[in-house]
Amino acid sequence: MLNLNTDPTIQDFQKYVQQLEQERGFDNQTTTQKGLLLGEEIGELFKAIRKHEAQLRVDENSQAHDVEDELADVLIYLCAIANRYNIDLEQAFRAKEEKNKTRVWK
């Protein structure tokens, strides 16, 4: 059984996802397949937000889940995709923020 550190870094999440994919037999899925699954999870996140915010009508029998669960699923797929490209998400985040700091936001 896998365990995540008490105070995990983004790299810890990535390593954990890599291990869980191996353990559960998902490590042979392609990047395209992971992207499709990520898209589905984002849709489920939006549906959960809709249900939580109650701004748009939702079928009361729908299987919308908790926002927290859907956000976690999105994070898992982001880590899985980053792992397939050998991208360190923390470094990517920091590099992107340096670019964003130079942008003019109106």
- Does 70 have pLDDT greater than 80? yes
Using alpha carbons, list the distances in angstroms from residue 35 to 11, 38, 44, 50, 63.
20, 5, 14, 23, 22
Residue 1 falls inside a structural domain: no
Count structural domains, the chain: 1
pLDDT band at 54 (very low <50, low <70, confident <90, very high): confident
**Domain CATH code at residue 56:** 1.10.287.1080
Residue 5 falls inside a structural domain: no
Residue 29 falls inside a structural domain: yes
pTM as predicted: 0.88
Residue 3 falls inside a structural domain: no
Residue 67 falls inside a structural domain: yes
Mean pLDDT computed over 84-92: 98
Residue 23 falls inside a structural domain: yes
Which range of residues forms the domain containing residue 83? 10-101
